[in-house]
Amino acid sequence: MLRLLALALLGLLVFLQVKLWGGHGGRHEVRRLEQAVQAQQAENEQLRRRNDALAAEVEDLKEGEDAVEERARSELGMIRPGEVFYRVVEPSADVLDKGREKR
């Protein structure tokens, strides 16, 4: 009888170990979920930084004319009345090579 009880307890121990290591909610699944949480936290932090930068840009655009002017100049190529626009174009490598060949 004692031997049967010991065998039953040993079987229960093996069953519980298998559930702990490989079953639903086991260590492997917990490790996988922890990695997923870390990846999500990293993505959230990146998105939080991007949102903060966008919020600062929106606030700057709402309050200051300097930001609007800078954006109009850089993105739309606008200039103030009376200003002269100069565009400096660097020669490409092909043009430089052709100039050297003529010499």
- Separation of alpha carbons 37 and 30, rounded Å: 10
Q: Per the structure block, which two tokens stand in for 78?
A: 């606008």
Does any domain span residue 14? Answer: no
For tokens 């606030």, the residue is: 59
Residue-wise pLDDT for 55-93, tens only, equals 998 887 788 777 778 878 888 888 888 888 777 888 777
Residue 41, domain extent = 27-102
Q: Which residue has the tokens 């922890």?
A: 34
Q: 22 lies in a domain? A: no
Is position 80 within any domain? yes
Q: What per-residue confidence (pLDDT) applies to 24?
A: 73
- Cα separation of 22 and 38, whole Å? 22
For residues 102 and 71, the model is more confident at 71
Beta carbons of 26 and 19 less than 8 angstroms apart: yes
State if pTM tops 0.85: no
Total domains present in the chain: 1
* 16, part of any domain: no
What's the CA gap between 8 and 6, in Å, rounded?
Answer: 5
Asked if residue 78 is part of any domain, the answer here is: yes
Q: Is 7 part of any domain?
A: no
